[in-house]
Structure 1
């Protein structure tokens, strides 16, 4: 069982390295920006506001970004988004090193980067599976993308924590600029077949309507996104509430928050390697039910009396559950979607995964201030379990309707290969 099968593909290997270094730089910049904001304002509210400004464009722009991605081509979009991200990081470095930085500039640049990421993320998801040959490599590539992300989520903050006291935030931003140069060079080095999506019409609204209809009129695609959206809205905000839980329920400090987040990251990394080792995409729909149930039970268990080590176990379990939910959803969608619709479908996936999160975080913060953090986490857990029940109720119909979609997309050669 080869967990790095997709890396034997030249194009994916170059993309994997370039994007991996870029994501490490991005995480390093995220930590540096957070530290800079707190140093300038001494305000937790401003930290939350900047995070909101950086993520909410995914909800507004991502569904429309898919139209441009399918029309322009994935690599062209990625080169543009990486160039714009490079400019944003360069401005952060210039303003910080020149002692010109103001909180208004950070808010504006965060909003700008959020708009860029609304195009970048779905394009990155789409291109990574189109450059591999077989269905097994495609599934492996999706899981390896998650391995890259979770490795970067650990290495980037670690590098930032070491470098910020030594060289300051501005030079961390410059290092991220360098990582974007590497990413752009890796994109230029790809040998891809040019597939121009030549439509009989050029109406943007019609293209969007086609993508929306294709995505939400098919029960398998719709149910995957509904379940993922439910979890993104109600369960994923647990990371925002973690500092409050640690302070109020464990009586601990920020160091404990970092420790628990690292434990969650370890769980996600192990789950990513598990997903990379799978060679069969059929049956993942059952794993989505299990993952959503595990997330729900894990969040409800925060209501139980227990100390740091009990919370550590729960965070590890949640890391596993969230990773399987996200990667499993991504894999099933990528196996179902036609190449001509891939950008648009993955844009809805990006909106569901990243766009509704800021809304959920704001609501969770308000709810926690009214009823307490443990009850808020428990409500998120109940909603996750309800989503799992809703999804499981239609599993038999899901499999029957998914079969012709798999065949049409080329993931299966005939209906005889379907497993009902």
Structure 2
């Protein structure tokens, strides 16, 4: 079983990629927690937390779909080297301004916007290159799951480390740690030994390439419904993370340590779910888990309406960690198993847009609603919308399965329609 869970790590390139990206994402989580705590400490505003998150993610909504065209045309490693270097510069500027006591909210908003633009190219390229390193479909599925293990190990370790480091060394030095993590990531990318890819000259211009990717993604019901459900979750449920500092201070009367604990508990749930998905031998059946995940998310968010305590909040955060991991990784896996290699960058860019580009609109809305109706009712409203999304996907499940089968065969994920088992 262990060998099945770790089969992608027998690939030398993926070992290096896994390590470098893991350290980089830990640094990113440390920076994210330090930045959210710094912003709330400086402004005492839930709306400002939402605005910072909005600025950091909204570029994904506009840039990610077009970034996919570039990713399908050029070397994915070169794209990642550039994005990681630019991210390093962004973190260095944030650290310098903070340590020199020059940081203002305008700087935070501008630097968040810059990082969001970088991420629009970084995330789809990272998703695509990790799959293309693999030789078989089983290895590809395992690589997708291990990517989520990497992310959630970082999500577990990063916030826990931030909770310890912020009171001891301050936010500025936390940002410097992220600078170091990006440097390690760049070195790992340079160390990869990838097969030389010869990119044929595309006959269409970039707009035509974008339109072809859009039609390929959204005219096929299975791909479209996966993204619709993920979009509902991204818009209404995922902004809970932005409101966590407000919940911790107002409802629990606690400090940054408690926020780090809750995020670590959520990371534990996600890590266990990621390990479970990595241990799976096939991708069929994941569509059912998307419904279970959306339902779990909905129930977890509505649960915040019950009397608050740190331990009960920890249980809810564990549920949310499991639910969000299955939703994100299950969607990624199904999409990657359906897509042709020639369209992988573009489909992953629409996935990135849905996951990270719609989120900032939800973050801004959640920050506004929390200032008007309170953080608890805002979280519960997101839960209700998640349950509605689960009902929508469940009602179309039979059609989804019928139409998904030939797509799996065409992409090479299944050898024939006889292999479709739902």
TM bucket normalised to smaller = over 0.9
C-alpha displacement of 1:194: 2.9
Find out whether 1:226 has 2:228 as its counterpart: yes
Is the contact made by 2:57 and 2:116 (CA closer than 8 Å) also made in structure 1? yes
Map 1:72-87; keep pairs closer than 5 Å.
Answer: 72-87=74-89
Unmatched segments (≥5 aa) in structure 1? none
Find out whether 1:411 has 2:420 as its counterpart: no
For residue 342 of structure 1, what is the aligned residue in structure 2? 344
Q: Distance in 2 between matches of 1:246 and 1:162?
A: 16
Is the contact made by 1:197 and 1:340 (CA closer than 8 Å) also made in structure 2? no
Q: Which moved more, 1:33-42 or 1:133-142?
A: 33-42
SS of the residue corresponding to residue 5 of structure 2 reads coil
SS of the residue corresponding to residue 300 of structure 1 reads helix
For residue 103 of structure 1, what is the aligned residue in structure 2? 105
Q: 1:102 to 1:257 in 2, by over 3 A?
A: closer
Unmatched segments (≥5 aa) in structure 2? none
For residue 139 of structure 1, what is the aligned residue in structure 2? 141
Q: Distance in 2 between matches of 1:374 and 1:301?
A: 9
Q: 1:294 to 1:32 in 2, by over 3 A?
A: closer
Find out whether 1:10 has 2:23 as its counterpart: no
Q: Which moved more, 1:50-59 or 1:206-215?
A: 50-59
Is the contact made by 2:31 and 2:178 (CA closer than 8 Å) also made in structure 1? yes
Q: Which of the residues 192, 195, 205 maps onto 1:193?
A: 195
Q: 1:376 to 1:31 in 2, by over 3 A?
A: closer
Q: Distance in 2 between matches of 1:41 and 1:413?
A: 57
For residue 175 of structure 2, what is the aligned residue in structure 1? 173
Q: Which of the residues 277, 281, 284 maps onto 2:283?
A: 281
**TM-score, structure 1 normalization:** 0.92
Q: Which of the residues 358, 380, 390 maps onto 2:392?
A: 390
SS of the residue corresponding to residue 238 of structure 2 reads coil
Q: Distance in 2 between matches of 1:158 and 1:306?
A: 21
C-alpha displacement of 1:373: 3.5
**TM-score, structure 2 normalization:** 0.92
Q: 1:100 to 1:310 in 2, by over 3 A?
A: closer
Is the contact made by 1:72 and 1:196 (CA closer than 8 Å) also made in structure 2? no
Aligned residues: 420
For residue 112 of structure 1, what is the aligned residue in structure 2? 114
Map 1:157-306; keep pairs closer than 5 Å.
Answer: 157-246=159-248, 249-250=251-252, 252=254, 254-305=256-307
Is the contact made by 2:30 and 2:174 (CA closer than 8 Å) also made in structure 1? yes
Q: 1:380 to 1:91 in 2, by over 3 A?
A: closer
SS of the residue corresponding to residue 159 of structure 1 reads helix
Question: Which deviations, in whole Å up to 9, do the C-alpha atoms of 1:214-258 show, x marking residues without a partner?
Answer: 000001100000001011111112223344445555555554443
Q: 1:361 to 1:71 in 2, by over 3 A?
A: same
